[in-house]
Amino acid sequence: MKHRVLISLGMTALAVATTVVLLAPVPVAAQAQKPAAAAPAAQSAPAAKPAAKKAWTVARTPDGAPDLQGYWTNNSYTPLERPDGVTKEFYTLPELRAVEKKNAEREQEETTPGTVADVHYDFTQFGLDRGQTRLTDNLRTSVITNPENGKLPPVTEEGKKRAADRAAARRKQGATYDQVQNIVLGSRCVYMNAAPPMMPPGYNPAYQIVQSPGYVTILTEMLHETRVIPTDGRPHAPSNIRSWLGDSKGHWEGDTLVVETTNFNDKVAFRGASENVKVTERFTRLSDDAIRYEFTVDDPSTWERAWTGEMPFVKINGPIFEHACNEGNYGIANTLAGVRKEEKRAAEEAAKKAGAK
C-alpha cells in the first residue's frame, strides 16, 4: 500500500519507492535463506575475486596509470547490512539467484496493469526495475565486510544524540508534504548516492570512468554527478568548504586507486554519519569485466569503530545519458499541488459541517 502511494507521485518518487524496497531486505533475505538447504557445503568464492585468471594484467592508460575506464554498474540486491537470520558471509550461486528472483518479482509487482499507478507510470520500463539490467552477481550477503557480522558497529552516544537532534529538527519542519524541503532528497533531485561510499542508487546505477593524466573522473548517470579526482596526492580543500559529494583526493598504491574523501556537508548524513566522516575508497581492476570497490567509513563521533564494505563494479554497455532530473521533476509539483487541494477540500467540508450545526 505504501509503495502504491509513492508510485502515484511520479517518476522521481519512484526512486524512493525502490529505495523503500531496498531498505526492507529482511523478509526478502529471510526467504532467500530457504533454498540454502540445496546449497553445497563448500562455500563458493565471491564473484568479485576471480582468482583463477592468472595471466590477466591490468591495461595502462597512455600515461601509464592502471586503466579503470569504461562504463560500469554496481547494480545488485546486496544490502549494506547482513539481514537478520543470515549468518554466513556468502551465498551460493543458486541462493543468490533465488534472492535476485524474489527481488525482481517484488519490483515488478510495483505496477499492476490497469491500475492508476500503471497508467501513470510503468515501473518495468526505463531501467527502473533492477532485475532487467545487469546485476553484479555479488555473492556477499552484505556489503559490509568488517565488522565480520556484516552489521554496522554500535553507534556512539554522540551519534545517538545527533540522530535524535536531526529527527527533532526535521519534525519541526512539519509534515512531509508541507513544503518541498521536507521531501526526501532523491525525489527532489538533490542527492542520489553519488558520494562515497557509492552505494547503488534506487535505480539505474550507471557510471563512466574517464582518465586523463593526473585525474580519474567518475561520472554517475543519476543527477549527472561528476567526481573529478586528482591522483597526485594533493591536500584537501580547506575544511570550511563543505559539499554533498565531499572533497575527493586520490593517489595510486600499486595498481589500486585510493581515494580519500572529507569535507561532507551535514545533510548527507550517510547512515547517521557526521559531517566529519572520512571515507576511503579503493578501486582495483580485477579483470576486463570487473573492478573491486572497497571502502572504509571512519567517523569516531558516530560509530565505535571504523567499518568497511566491498562490492564489485562490472561492465555495462554505454553510453551514459543526461539525467535531467530537476528539469523534469513534475512529481514534486504535482504531489504538493495534490496535497494542497486535499487540504482545501477537507477545510471546506469541515466548514460545511460546522455551518450545518
Location of C-alpha cell 589500486: 256
Helices of type H across the chain: 2-7, 11-22, 25-33, 93-108, 116-120, 157-172, 330-356
Pairing mode, strands 307-315 and 290-298: antiparallel
Q: Are 299 and 277 in contact (CB under 8 A)?
A: yes
Q: Indicate whether 133 belongs to the interface with another protein (CB under 8 A).
A: no
Q: Are 114 and 22 in contact (CB under 8 A)?
A: no
Across 332-343, b (16+ Cβ under 10 Å) vs e yields beebeeeeeeee
Taking alpha carbons only, the member of 333, 286, 322 closest to residue 47 is 286
Q: Which is nearer to another protein, 6 or 223 (CB)?
A: 223
Q: Indicate whether 333 belongs to the interface with another protein (CB under 8 A).
A: yes
Single out the residue of 93, 104, 163, 219 in contact with another protein (rule: CB under 8 A): 219
Q: What is the largest CA-CA distance in the chain?
A: 87
Q: Indicate whether 226 belongs to the interface with another protein (CB under 8 A).
A: yes
Pairing mode, strands 247-253 and 225-230: unpaired
Angle at 211 between CA 206 and CA 212, to 5 degrees: 150
Q: Indicate whether 156 belongs to the interface with another protein (CB under 8 A).
A: no
Of the candidate spans 170-178, 254-262, 280-288, 298-306, the one that interacts with another protein by CB under 8 A turns out to be 170-178
Q: Indicate whether 336 belongs to the interface with another protein (CB under 8 A).
A: yes
Q: Indicate whether 269 belongs to the interface with another protein (CB under 8 A).
A: no
Contact set for another protein, span 6-65 (CB under 8 A): 61-63
Calculate the CA dihedral of residues 74, 77, 79, 80 and round it to 10 degrees.
Answer: 0
CA–CA distance, 42 with 23 (Å, rounded to integer)? 30
Single out the residue of 104, 163, 190, 306 in contact with another protein (rule: CB under 8 A): 190
CA–CA distance, 313 with 293 (Å, rounded to integer)? 7
Cβ count within 10 A of residue 101: 15
Single out the residue of 22, 29, 189, 199 in contact with another protein (rule: CB under 8 A): 189
Of the candidate spans 32-40, 159-167, 241-249, 292-300, the one that interacts with another protein by CB under 8 A turns out to be 241-249
Q: Indicate whether 346 belongs to the interface with another protein (CB under 8 A).
A: no
Of the candidate spans 154-162, 164-172, 251-259, 333-341, the one that interacts with another protein by CB under 8 A turns out to be 333-341
Location of C-alpha cell 551514459: 320
Single out the residue of 180, 184, 269, 316 in contact with another protein (rule: CB under 8 A): 180
Number of residues that bind another protein (CB under 8 A): 50
Q: Are 248 and 220 in contact (CB under 8 A)?
A: no
Q: Indicate whether 69 belongs to the interface with another protein (CB under 8 A).
A: yes
Q: Indicate whether 211 belongs to the interface with another protein (CB under 8 A).
A: yes
Q: Indicate whether 213 belongs to the interface with another protein (CB under 8 A).
A: yes
Of the candidate spans 79-87, 116-124, 147-155, 234-242, the one that interacts with another protein by CB under 8 A turns out to be 234-242
Q: Which is nearer to another protein, 23 or 241 (CB)?
A: 241
Footprint on this chain of another protein (rule: CB under 8 A): 61-63, 69, 174-175, 177-181, 188-191, 208, 210-213, 215, 217, 219, 223-226, 228, 230, 234, 237, 241, 243-245, 319-322, 324, 326-327, 329, 332-333, 336-337, 339-340, 343
